[in-house]
Structure 1
Amino acid sequence: MTARERQRWAVLGVAAITASIVATRSLVVTDRDRVDRFVDAVSGEVTPGRIDAAMRYLDPDRQPVEITAYEATEAYGPGEREALRQRVRERLRAAAGMRFRVLRKSVTMGARSASVSMQLYSSEGAPSAEYVLRKHGDDWLVETARLR
């Protein structure tokens, strides 16, 4: 094998290793990625699709959830999934079309839980939102949600 052939094989080897590293990194989804997807689902424009995306993080059959919106607190547990979905859709109907931008966010990750705090901004005001999520397998589900 000539020096030129060795050089060509070395370049091809480095390219193959680089490609495999890039492919592996793009296939791996971390817990932080999953929690960031939650943040994306609960911010931005309020649309039916975004509401559906956010609802994927609410499953009171697997993780009881307590929601506080300003002064009213409601809790949902096993068997109340449909009631929760109807209540969330009913509450968000008034905000349809509004866009909530994230001014500040803080995410604290633990092995089995995550805390998310956000300061939001819209043309209607600047609410703050706090969430605690619990890990269930690969899923992160809302345990508490507080909007102020």
Structure 2
Amino acid sequence: MNRKLLFTLAIILSAVLLVSSVSAIWPFDGGSDVTVNGINFHLPDGFNHVEKEDQLNGNGNYEAYTYDNENNHEFIKICVVDFDGDETSLYNSLIKKGFSQKTINGKEGYGRIYSGGPRYGYGYVENGKYVILDIPFVYADEGLQHDELLAKIIK
């Protein structure tokens, strides 16, 4: 083979490898960042805000958003409640309800499959707030299991 052709092929191969390695670590994979009651999250592409609940009650501020994906009729619900209680008591209560301990993105919490459908619930305490996530058990659009989807959502 000609030296110019080998050199050109080497350059093209290097460029392809460079692009593929950058895309593997590229932090901007689409979606949108949202904040619920002072806690930040990242939603995958396709989820749009459709419903908001918030109230101030005897237990403090409560804020919840439901994000719907119109393409596949899936939804993600994020609820964040001011929390000044005992985390151990909260977690013991969750264990009695069938939740099991799980750490996602450094957030130690508790999760379980909901019996009413293919959904997964996960809760944890962060910065004096109790965070509850209700997500699809499997998010087919991106081929993600619930743990992988939570890892994308929780910042």
TM-score norm. by structure 2 comes to: 0.31
Higher strand residue share: 2
TM-score norm. by structure 1 comes to: 0.32
Bigger relative contact order (CA 8 A; separation at least 6): 1
Higher helix residue share: 1
